[in-house]
A = this chain, B = another copy of it.
Amino acid sequence: MKFEVTILGSSSATPVFNRNPTAQLLNCNEKFYLIDCGEGTQQQLIRFNLKSARIDYIFISHLHGDHYFGLIGLLSSLHLNGRIKPMQIFGPAALLEILEIQFKHSDTTLRYPLEFFPIDPTASTQIFENSDLIVKTIILNHRIPCTGFIFEQKQRQRKLIKDKAEEVPMAYYTVLKKGLNVELPNGDILLSEDYTTPADPPRSYAYCSDTLLDERYFPMIKNCDTLYHEATFMHELLDRANETHHTTALQAGEVAKINHVKKLIIGHFSSRYKTLQMLLEEAQSVFENTELAIEGKTYPL
């Protein structure tokens, strides 16, 4: 099952020549989840040949513009392009007010249902579940209420061994894949383990957009497979990071290490950094399996 994220924007507060503000597209089993939506996200989707029409869920971490100014444009374009299926949006309560005032003054009545789910910024909770995954919030420590998200795959069914499965009627597949044995009418037993192999272990992707390093969110990300963590500054600007409630690349590495994640992706880079290699090296000095969030690049999770 596909579980991967494509970076659409990796810049912090202001865009720079080759970096857009924050947005990511998560593909889980060919369902698409947009995570944050900075200005120009719809253009980035076009640029990378990703179909915005396939997005059914949008998660907005907080109301600093570099994380949501592109949302109204994306929703408007989907409307103009004929969308009729619902869109589910999870974000701060005031986001709905901001969207509605703009729809009102453009005399727009969306052709598709916009289902809005306000996020409680005070406590980590489960906010979404479908057959593939569960999404929970991560309470971050920023200048305004800000939540990260952790996307946890559900336990999958065991996988059929193709050659062996051909020996038995398809009607038994469902039971065998659940790990249960089948008793045939003649009394013979088909053992699940003869016809299936264990499912891939469920994976998890934690997204920490804008935050001070704060131990209080560590329990939510502990042992996750991939952690995206902001790394706005080099550690030499720790004071600036603290002042603006952001994290340094070194700290992002520490968060990954302390919480035993398997892989770290850093992003949300300050516009002062023309190149990013030194941010990568700083994070890797603490946590080796670190990658830079590069726009247009897709990361298996």
Contact = CB atoms under 8 A, between A and B. Distances in A.
Contacts of A107: 143-144
Interface string A1-43: 0000000000001111100110000000000000000011011
Given A17-B47, A92-B105, A106-B144, 9 more contacts: A13-B76, A14-B76, A16-B46, A17-B46, A39-B39, A64-B106, A69-B69, A98-B105, A107-B143
For the complex of A and B, the 6 pairs showing the least CB-CB separation, nearest first, are A39-B73, A14-B77, A63-B105, A94-B105, A40-B40, A69-B73
Which of under 10, 10 to 19, 20 to 34, or 35 or more describes the interface residues of A?
A: 35 or more
Question: How many copies of this chain are found per oligomer?
Answer: 2
A148 interface: no
Contacts of A14: 42, 76-77, 80-81
Contacts of A296: none
Interface centre among A16, A97, A102, A143 (most CB of B within 10 A): A102
Nearest to A62: B106
Contacts of A17: 46-47
B39 A70 contact: yes
